[in-house]
Amino acid sequence: MAIVKKASAHWAGDLKTGIGSISTETGVLREAPMASRPVSKAVKVPIRKN
């Protein structure tokens, strides 16, 4: 029996300068930012320090 998992992604802009987000059905990733360059430079992402 195969296990099937689903995810979705949204991308805006071109490959070099665009940004987007990715979500998984489990909710582990929910509109997580992604980019073709380091995400911290693409969008303001809060960084948690422990």
- pLDDT at residue number 7: 93
pLDDT score, position 6: 93
18 assigned to some structural domain: yes
Q: Is residue 1 part of a domain?
A: no
Residue 30 carries which side chain, given as an amino acid letter? R
Q: Which domain holds residue 11?
A: 7-42
C-alpha span between 37 and 17 (Å, rounded): 8
Per-residue pLDDT, averaged over 12-24, amounts to 88
CA 39/CA 29 separation, integer angstroms:
15
Express each pLDDT in 26-50 by its tens digit: 888 888 888 777 655 555 556 566 5
pLDDT confidence of residue 16: 81
Mean pLDDT of the chain: 80
22 lies in some domain: yes
Domains: count for the chain? 1
| CB neighbour burial string for 16-31, b if at least 16 within 10 angstroms, e if fewer | eeebbbebeeeeeeee
Residue 47 covered by a domain = no
